[in-house]
Amino acid sequence: MSSEKELQLVGEDYYSSLTELTFNSKPLITTLTILAQENISAAKYITNAIIKRITKCVPSQKLYSLYLLDSICKNIGSPYTVLFGSNLSNLFIETYTLVDDVQRKKMIDLFKTWKVTKSTSGMPLFPHEAIQMIEKFLIKVTKPNAQQLGNQQQRGNPLLHSNGQQFFNNGNINNKPQTPQTMTKSLISEIGNLQSIISGRLALNPNNAKDSQKLVILDQLKNILSSSALGPSELAGIQQQLKEFSSGEIQTTNPPVTNNQPIHIHTPPPNQGFVNNISSNSSSTMINANVNTMALNPAALLSSIASNNNHVQQSPSFTANNNSVKPNNIDMNTLFNTLQSTGLINLNKSGNMALHPPQSNKPGIIGGNVQPRKGPLKPLVNLPSTSILQSILTNTKQVKPKSDVRSALDYSDFLPTNSSNSSKLPNIREFQKLLFESKPIKCNNCGKRFTDTQESQNHMDWHFRINKRLKDTASINTRSHYLSLEDFVLFKESEILGEGGDSTTEANNDSRDVTTAPSDNSSDASKHYIVIPDDCTDMSTICNICKDTLKGVFHDETGEWVWKNAIQVNQKIYHWICYNETSSKRKAEEDKIRGVSKKPNLNGLKFDVSLLKSLSTINSLSTINPS
Amino acid sequence: MDSGGKSQVNIPAGSEWRFEVDFSQELTIKVVSGVVEINGTELPNNFDLKFKGVKLSIFCYQDSIIEYYGTFSSEYVSDESVVPQYVALHFALQNFRNKAATNNNLNAPRVLVIGGKDSGKTTLSKVLVSYAVKMDSFPMVVNLDPQEGVYTMPGALSATVVNDVLDVEQGWGQSILSGASAFHPTQPAVTYYGYDHINSNPSYYRYNIQKLASVVDKRLENDEMVRQTGVIIDTPALTNKDSSLIEEIVEAFSVNLIIVLGNERLFIDLKKTFSEKIYESLDGQKQFFNVLKFSKSGGCVDKDDAFIRARQQSLIKQYFYGDRKQVLSPYTITSIDYSRLSVYRIVESNKVNTTSATDNSENLDASSVLPIGMDAEEKALLEELEQSKADAAVMSASTVKKEQEKEEVPISEAPAEPEAIVTDGELIEKLEPESSSLQNAVIAFVHADIDEPMTKVLDSGVLCFGYISDANDLKKKLSVLLPVQGNLPNKTIVFGGFRYVD
């Protein structure tokens, strides 16, 4: 059960991950978006965290957090759109005044997309007041751009009408290309979001019968949406009501106190007005519906939610609904499962597919614009079309936080054959995207690429340690013996990555298979320390394995001066990592002498140091550390 | 050529900058801007890389600027490149891998790269390995070209799982060291063939292929990660005449994709040979199998014998002493009694008159043969030293002796099955240690104790290599340079035609 405090913690955690967003990293933004999606119940705090980040970070990095805001709003939509929307204009204008011209240009580009993009529910992304305010501001500050923006306004912006009914209509007109199917899908996803908000609130206050009932009704609504084919006008009705309902919900979840400004939503505030609106709407738009189908009428369902919320007298439609709620209530799990299996509420997929459209002219991490090679290359191999490549690139859904490029690639019709000479090779620009932009961080030392900063930081740490050891002329380095063929058969690369060159930490981050490693050495190491004895005068000592100096530091928890990451064995001090590494090797050697041979794990790739039988490694270590 | 201070070259996207650096020269390059690769491995920006004894091309994904200084033989920019084709091939393989990962009936790609001399086989192998590494997978590279040494000595055949980016200065990278390596080290399986030409003892060569193939097969069985990525096999120069050998390799390594570089006739022949096997679909109903043809890169250059010998000498030196990034300390054991050794010589059934390092002593005058980093003064010293050694004469005598042997040993045109060969003593022969054959020899200690039978010796992999710096028949003692400190390994020694001058 998550408490308010825990949600707050989620927000704080989120803020600390945000501090890594110091460059335009698509994977990072994707990850953060997914995080925001997963913790939708903490939406308020996540929103606050992002706003805080945008206002607090150095100007050069503000843009990336704005991209994140953009990504979240476009992919998840409500409640984030509403939460950000209330503060958007101030945030945007403040940021704009602080950043340099290049970033301003990019902000304008970003803003342009906000004007034309629809949220997942097909509604405008942000409240039009906010958009209008920003637009006015931009026109004022960018005279040369004014014309351009003006044009845009005439051409594509349907948001400039404020009247609720008109707005509603506009939404529809604008959604012409949106088929009922996609509309249904987006509606279902919106319902999913609402449900998670409500269940989040329910977790805080389990006794709230209204909330649990709302959940049931929403489920039913989902069911109706997915099972029956509704006409566009009906869908539109649901959409509108859902929108209003959700803003009511969000405001309930998010006490107005936290916002200095009134929330700019194009619907009246909840409670009485909300209900009135709903009932009037349902009477005006839905009244024509056959009374017999009333139980299946989604709009009526929504009204019933609203009524529940506000204790108004029951409308006829509500009673009708009540009848249908009960049987469905029993079968809720089945219902939910069916929905999932039909793929209709698989929000994640549809949500993330659209992350940062590939054509957007983002600043490439790997450098400026690239001139694609002119003229077609010699056709040799059947290759997928550009669009496939792009969609693969964009489909970052499959790229897990710890990105696995392999799974992001899907060349369904890509065969190692050179029979079809008619197909063209994609130009190198496409390769570049796949190979380099998917891993934006490049090591300055060896050119290796990484998807996230933590990985690359670990890699740089590894370089640092290796270089330090390589420069240390006192240590003798020799070529180890090769494995016997039998041992090679049983060998796993995880072992070599784990010990090759003091690369214990590297192993955990570098090789995917070591996730099964028994323990994370770095976190282990930090738990080990030795309190500096009183007779020690200069606060330092040396590790008996690597001969590095250990310096004393003050340990807050115990209030003593200590040597960190150290262990004392038989009066001798060692680095915890050094000791661990050698002792595990020693153990492996002892096992071998005793004839204890561990059976290789044939299924998984376990980090199994005992398999290491490289004699020389053991020899050389025992010469350094006679035991 | 000397750049005479720092120069810069602008390379447009999609073009290659090709350069050649002799063993006596050194070129330092630095990527100022852009995204560039050598054989599929991306170069770091603003980082000095030093090259010696290489013929390389740098492919540019973006308009790039490279700064360079030092000495070199040639450099030019070409707007032609085969890299996009290779990369396309890589993505096809990647699809292949993805399919194989979800379908148990389908093996991941096991690619055999074949072609004539200097057709870019190793380059393509490196590109495919590098790109697989970029996808965070662990490809296995199998080197069947004894002229080269991949993560090991020349003369050895090896199978190596590559777990990290390649070391572009070295070419591949290092096998595991006792201490730190600048790049992630590898743990190869090594068998010693002992000559640099496959015709020196075709039977033994095939025997080694079979041995390595069974090891690779078992490793793949045990190692899911590697199995899902597959194998890239680099080969010596092969032509139409070698089709039986190619068939044998395909069979042994369960190859499912053959890539022929720049040899149309070989391509057509192989298509015919394997016509029944070919199945161009990844649906898993049958094992995928195909033969593909790629054109030879315009950047391929001839590597003459002197260059190859110099490269081999430098690889041998690297094995013991490391390189500028990681300096190694080998260890010499002196006064080893002959009686403590069990020595086998790999029979040289055909005297191949090419680049074998056997005739090293005759070529010591050629500067290209000098070990890396040796200047003229040292060369003079070396010559003096060589002359003072009576062994030089003995060595040429040994060559004569070998030629006599050659007549005695029947040359098998069509080698029998390996099982049959084991018994007929034609592969390796037991030898009493003597300075005439062992002086300056590169020897391999195999994973077989000195008292174990010959069959065990034949079936064992290499533990480590050594170099006999001195052998004295009068005292019956010799000195061995070993990579690791400690006692002389109590293992059987196998040696072939490789000699080295420290």
* Identity of the residue in B13, B182, B329 whose CB atom sits nearest the CB atom of A370: B13
CB contact under 8 A, B135 and A405: yes
The torsion angles phi and psi of B469, rounded to 5 degrees, stand at -80, -20
Q: Per the CB < 8 Å rule, is B485 touching A383?
A: no
Token pair recorded at residue A384 = 């997928």
Supply the pLDDT for residue A613. Answer: 31
Tokens of A218: 């929403």
Give a yes or no: residue A274 inside a domain: yes
Distance in Å, alpha carbon of A226 to nearest chain B alpha carbon: 31
Which helix (H) or strand (E) element contains residue B50? strand B49-51
Q: Judge whether residue A14 has pLDDT over 80.
A: yes
Residue A195, token pair as written in the block: 């449900």
Do residues A144 and A192 share a domain?
A: no
User: CATH top-level class for B7-78?
Assistant: mainly beta
**Distance from the B6 Cα atom to the nearest Cα atom in chain A, whole angstroms:** 21
Which two tokens mark B312?
């081999």
Determine, for residues B326 and A604 on separate chains, whether the beta-carbon distance falls below 8 Å. Answer: no
The least confident of A124-128, A361-365, A548-552, B93-97 is A361-365
Whether the bond into A376 is cis, omega within 30 of 0: no
Beta carbons of B62 and A409 less than 8 Å apart: no
- B330 neighbourhood in chain A, CB within 8 Å: 478-479
Do A496 and A531 share a domain, yes or no?
A: yes
For residue A605, give the nearest of B181, B225, B319 by CB distance: B225
Find all residues with CB under 8 Å of A460, minimum gap 6, and list them.
Answer: A443, A445
- Say if residue A137 is in the same domain as residue A274: no
pLDDT band at residue B260 using 50, 70 and 90 as cut-offs: very high
State pLDDT tens for residues B30-80.
Answer: 999 999 999 999 999 999 999 999 999 999 988 999 999 999 999 999 998
Residues of B in contact with A410 (CB under 8 A): 95, 98
Parallel, antiparallel, or unpaired: how do β-strands B477-482 and B331-337 relate? antiparallel
- What pLDDT was estimated at residue A339? 41
* Span B182-238, pLDDT tens digits: 888 899 999 999 999 999 999 999 999 999 999 999 999 998 889 989 999 999 999
Alpha-carbon distance values, B209 to B124, B235, B261 (Å): 21, 11, 21
Q: Tell me which residue in B137, B282, B331 faces A406 most closely, judged by beta carbons.
A: B137
Which residue in chain B has the smallest CA separation from A467?
Answer: B182
Q: Would you say the C-alpha torsion A118, A119, A121, A127 has a positive or negative sign?
A: negative
Q: Is residue A140 located within the same domain as residue A286? A: no
Q: Which of A419, A438, A457 is the last residue of a domain?
A: A438
Among B427, B21, B380, which Cα is nearest to B202's?
A: B427
Full 3-state SS string of B57-100: EEEECCCEEEEEEEECCEEEEECCCCHHHHHHHHHHHHHHHHHH
In chain A, the residue whose alpha carbon lies closest to the alpha carbon of B219 is A489
Is the distance from CB of B170 to CB of B333 less than 8 angstroms? no
Question: Which residues is B430 bridged to in the sheet?
Answer: B344
pLDDT in tens, A199-257: 766 666 666 667 777 777 777 777 777 666 666 666 776 777 776 666 665 555 444 43
**A197 DSSP β-pair partners:** none
Tell me which of A482, A514, A603 to substitute to probe the interface with B (most B C-beta atoms closer than 10 Å).
Answer: A482
What secondary structure letter does DSSP report for A574? E
Domain parsing of chain B, residue ranges: 7-78, 83-294, 305-411+425-499
Residue A262 within any structural domain of the chain: yes
Residues 120-139, chain B, touching A (beta carbon < 8 A) = 131, 134-138
Nearest to B462 among A432, A482, A501 (CB): A482
- Hey, are the CB atoms on B91 and A619 less than 8 Å from each other? no
Residue A79 lies in a domain: yes
**Do A109 and A245 share a domain, yes or no?**
no
Same CATH topology for B83-294 and B305-411+425-499: the answer is no
Question: Mutate which of B39, B178, B323 to disrupt the A interface (most A C-beta within 10 Å)?
Answer: B178
DSSP secondary structure letters along A468-513: HHHH-TTS---BPPPPPHHHHHH--HHHHHHHTTS-HHHHHHH-GG
Identify which of A419, A476, A502 has the shortest CB distance to residue B329: A476
Number of domains in chain A: 4
Instruction: Give the pairing type, strands B54-60 and B428-431.
Output: unpaired
Any A CB within 8 A of B484 CB? yes
Cα nearest neighbour of A509 on chain B: B136
Of B151, B156, B104, whose CA–CA distance to B125 is shortest? B151
Q: Is residue A107 part of a domain?
A: yes
Final residue in a domain of this structure, among A349, A375, A400: A349
Query: What average pLDDT score do residues A380-399 get?
Result: 39
* A614 contacts on B by Cβ (under 8 Å): 176, 187
One-letter-per-residue 3-state SS of B145-199: CCCCCCCCCCCEEEEEECCCCCCCCCCCCCECECCCCCCCCECCEEEECCCCCCC
Residue A197 in contact with residue A41, Cβ under 8 Å? yes
**Residues of chain B contacting residue A425, judged by C-beta atoms under 8 Å apart:** 84-85, 88
Q: B83-294, superfamily in CATH? A: P-loop containing nucleotide triphosphate hydrolases (3.40.50.300)
Is the confidence at residue B273, as pLDDT, over 80? yes
Check CB contact under 8 Å for A444 and B95.
no
Mutation test of the interface with chain B: which of A390, A409, A485, A602, choosing the one with the most B Cβ atoms within 10 A?
A: A485
Position B335 pLDDT exceeds 70: yes
Q: Looking at B281-376, which runs of residues are DSSP E strands?
A: 290-294, 331-337, 343-346
Cβ-Cβ contacts under 8 Å, A405 against chain B: 134-136
Q: Do A206 and A136 sit in the same domain of this protein?
A: no
User: Which residue of B39, B136, B332 to mutate against A (max A Cβ within 10 Å)?
Assistant: B136
Confidence of residue A520 (pLDDT cuts 50, 70, 90): very low
Taking CB atoms and an 8 Å cutoff, what residues of chain A touch B131?
A: 435
Same domain, A510 and A583: yes
Contacts of B35 in chain A (CB under 8 A): 366-367, 432, 436
Contact list in A for residue B152 (CB cut-off 8 A) is 482
Phi, psi of B465 (to 5 degrees): -105, 155
A228 shares its domain with A285: yes
Instruction: Examine the domain organization and report whether A323 and A189 are in the same domain.
Output: yes
Chain A residues whose CB is inside 8 A of the B270 CB are none
Strand pairing of B54-60 and B36-38? antiparallel
Q: Among partner residues B33, B189, B330, which is closest to A478 by beta-carbon distance?
A: B330
B122 and B142 Cβ atoms separated by less than 8 Å:
no
* Range list of H helices, A411-484: 428-432, 453-471
Q: Which residues pair with B442 in a beta bridge?
A: B467
A619 contacts B484? CB cut-off 8 A: yes
**Top-ranked range on mean pLDDT: pick from A135-139, A382-386, A549-553:** A135-139
Out of A108-122, A277-291, B250-264, B346-360, least confident range:
A277-291
Local confidence band at B332 (pLDDT 50, 70, 90 cut-offs): very high
Which phi and psi angles does B397 have, rounded to 5°? -65, -40
Q: ipTM of the predicted structure?
A: 0.83
> Does domain B305-411+425-499 correspond to CATH entry 3.40.50.300?
no
Single out the residue in A438, A453, A468 at which a domain terminates: A438
The answer to the question of residue A587 being in a domain is yes
**What mean pLDDT value characterizes chain B?**
84
Q: How close A66 gets to chain B, by Cα (Å)?
A: 28
Q: Measured between beta carbons, which residues in chain B are less than 8 angstroms from residue A382?
A: 92
Which range is least confidently modeled, B37-51, B343-357, B476-490?
Answer: B343-357
Contact list, A623 vs chain B (CB under 8 Å):
485
- Structural domain including A103 reads 4-117+125-158
Q: Which residues of B are documented as binding site for ATP?
A: 16, 55, 118-123
Strands (E), B372-473: 428-431, 441-449, 462-472
Choose among A485, A302, A274, A586: nearest CA to B158.
Answer: A485
Q: What is the percentage of chain A residues whose pLDDT exceeds 70? A: 43
Chain B stretch 352-411, residues whose beta carbon is closer than 8 A to a beta carbon of chain A: none
Q: Say if the Cβ atoms of A380 and B88 lie within 8 Å.
A: yes
Which residue is closest to A621 within chain B, CA to CA? B178
Same structural domain, A153 and A266: no
pLDDT of residue A411 exceeding 80:
no
Does residue A264 belong to any structural domain of this protein?
yes
* Cβ burial, residue B122 (10 Å; 0-12/13-18/19+): buried
Do A301 and A331 reside in the same domain of the chain? Answer: yes
Q: Is A245 helix (H, G, I), strand (E, B) or coil?
A: helix
